[in-house]
Amino acid sequence: MNPVAYEGNRPYIFLSYSHEDSAYVLPFIHVLQTKYNVWFDEYIQYGAEWAEYVAEKLAGCAVFFFIITPNSLASDNCMDEIAYARDLKKFSVNIYKNSDIVLPRAFQMRYGRYQMCKLDRFATFEEAVADLAYKCAELREVGLDEEEACKEWHEIPYRREGGSVWFGHYPQEAVLDAHTVAALNELAGDVPTAQKSGRWTSYRYYIKGKCLDYMWYIDLEWQGTRYRGVYFDAYRPSHATIDSAPNTSNQDENGYLLHTAYWFRYSPIRWRVLCEKEGNALLFCETAIDSQDFYHSTAIRQIADREVYPNNYAHSTIRRWLNEDFLQAAFDRNERRYLVPATVANDPASTNPAMQPAMWNEGANPFACEDTTDRVFLLSEAEATRPEYGFSADCTLADPARRRGCTDYGRSQGCYTNPSTEYFGSYSWWLRSPMFFSNNFMHGVSYGGNSDGDSVVPDTRRGIVPALWLRTTNADD
């Protein structure tokens, strides 16, 4: 069972390591997390936004651990992290994989006085963690809350009835009761502005290609129920590259207007079981649960000295949103332990129907990207046409199994249904597969349920219908 990075309000350890050492380091982290809150970079990500996020996590940590291996010593990212920890004067511990590793002299000079632990001197990781606890009084600050730990290791966090599973929570139904709305408005305090957001958090959505503060959210608990508030002083445009106006947004058509706080109740997420394999179940959400653009721009980027197209799933904002924003909002720490990291196929065959892998462009797709490892992901064109998952193999067919409604919360974000079709009330949603003919178009499922549609990447109106692999055996087995 792979560990999960800590995302909470208690003090935590920031653990720096090379992803090339994951097979060795992740089991150590798993043992460490039986005693302490530990944040670590779970996925290989690139770009300035991810670097800023990692820096924020490092700045917020109470203790810094550095796993010393030849790979980490050769990693620019790891060297940046230990240097930043030193600049911030973090209490730091050097953890050696092997005692005989030769440290560069510059490293010894800068970081050689840190507390250390040499893992190969212990028979088990448990013994190493116990030794760290004995040596480092600072670790008491980052220990697990006893009640939280008890819940975390013992509670099964989902419910299943036949082919349906209820797992995780997300804002879904609009709150219509006037008394509840008034109580939540009072609890939230002043509404946010671009100059003063108060307790509200900006979505940082785009208008005309610029990331701006015009739409906010706040999560509150009232009388034992969790709610999310949404407020905006400009309409979210249907594409992240265009201007804001009522006629460029679907929010007003969905009944959500400027300068009003709307409230949505967190409720269990319902999933459909698509298949089961080796104690895990592939789940697919029963509704469009949110509305996001795939990527906010149609410009080609340079990442790690190579061109990255706007419709590259590995480097899309939608992938990051699924595995950060959505994951953290929808699943608590115990639930995240039941999410199975999956290898997500993004090869050319995945961008064609399952039974016709060469349907388009003779099977070639110049915009297919590398496979990714994700805990939450979008379906591919191949997966959305797989009969064994209950879908029609015909991508042109208006398949009822592919049609999706949308939550009230998703509608508040601008998710769109076409009132002029017989499928009014069914919403279009993203697939992760790029179209073969353009570097800024993606596959998507249309209102009727056909999966041969397409949309440009900055489109904010398409629904998010996530998929994931759930561990159906006890996470400690």
pLDDT band at 477 (very low <50, low <70, confident <90, very high): low
Site of tokens 């203790």: 63
Site of tokens 């990781």: 125
User: What is the rounded CA–CA span in Å between residue 347 and residue 367?
Assistant: 9
Structure tokens at 474: 């006890």
User: What is the rounded CA–CA span in Å between residue 81 and residue 90?
Assistant: 11
Whether residue 85 is predicted with pLDDT greater than 70 in this model: the reply is yes
User: What is the rounded CA–CA span in Å between residue 100 and residue 28?
Assistant: 19
Whether residue 50 is predicted with pLDDT greater than 80 in this model: the reply is no
Q: Which one has a higher pLDDT value, 100 or 209?
A: 209
Q: Please, which residues bridge with residue 158 across strands?
A: 167
Q: Please, which residues bridge with residue 458 across strands?
A: none
Per-residue pLDDT of 247-268, as tens digits, reads 999 999 999 999 999 999 999 9
Mean pLDDT of 162-183: 96
DSSP code at position 143: B
CB 416 within 8 A of CB 427: yes
CB 29 within 8 A of CB 2: no
pLDDT band at 150 (very low <50, low <70, confident <90, very high): very low
Per-residue pLDDT of 301-359, as tens digits, reads 998 889 999 999 999 999 999 998 999 899 987 898 899 999 999 999 999 999 999 99
Percentage with pLDDT > 70 across the chain: 95
CB 294 within 8 A of CB 460: no
Computed from CA positions of residues 39, 43, 44, 46, in that sequence, does the dihedral angle turn out positive or negative?
negative
Q: What is the pLDDT of residue 64?
A: 95
Alpha helices in 246-290 (DSSP H): none
Least confident span in 17-21, 50-54, 353-357 = 50-54
CB 463 within 8 A of CB 429: yes
Whether residue 474 is predicted with pLDDT greater than 90 in this model: the reply is no
Listed in sequence order, the residues at least 6 apart from 87 whose beta carbon sits closer than 8 Å to its beta carbon are: none
428, 386, 137: which is closest to 288 by C-alpha? 428
Q: Which one has a higher pLDDT value, 422 or 311?
A: 311
Mean pLDDT of 430-436: 98
Whether residue 156 is predicted with pLDDT greater than 90 in this model: the reply is no
Across all residues in the chain, what is the average pLDDT?
Answer: 92
Q: What is the pLDDT of residue 53?
A: 85
Least confident span in 66-80, 89-103, 136-150, 345-359 = 136-150
Phi (first) and psi of residue 386, to 5 degrees: -90, 115
Mean pLDDT of 49-64: 89
CB 456 within 8 A of CB 298: yes
Whether residue 425 is predicted with pLDDT greater than 80 in this model: the reply is yes
Site of tokens 């996001």: 292
Site of tokens 């394999």: 277
User: What is the rounded CA–CA span in Å between residue 386 and residue 389?
Assistant: 5
Domains of the chain in start order, with CATH, are: 13-153 (3.40.50.450), 168-471 (no CATH)
Q: What is the pLDDT of residue 333?
A: 77
In terms of DSSP bridges, do strands 115-118 and 91-96 run parallel, antiparallel, or are they unpaired?
A: parallel
Q: What is the pLDDT of residue 146?
A: 47
CB 72 within 8 A of CB 83: no
Structure tokens at 100: 């005989």
Structure tokens at 334: 């115990």
Mean pLDDT of 270-281: 96
Whether residue 44 is predicted with pLDDT greater than 80 in this model: the reply is no
446, 432, 434: which is closest to 404 by C-alpha? 446
Q: Which one has a higher pLDDT value, 139 or 365?
A: 365
Listed in sequence order, the residues at least 6 apart from 443 whose beta carbon sits closer than 8 Å to its beta carbon are: 351, 381, 431, 433, 434, 435, 451, 452, 453, 454
In terms of DSSP bridges, do strands 280-285 and 262-277 run parallel, antiparallel, or are they unpaired?
A: antiparallel
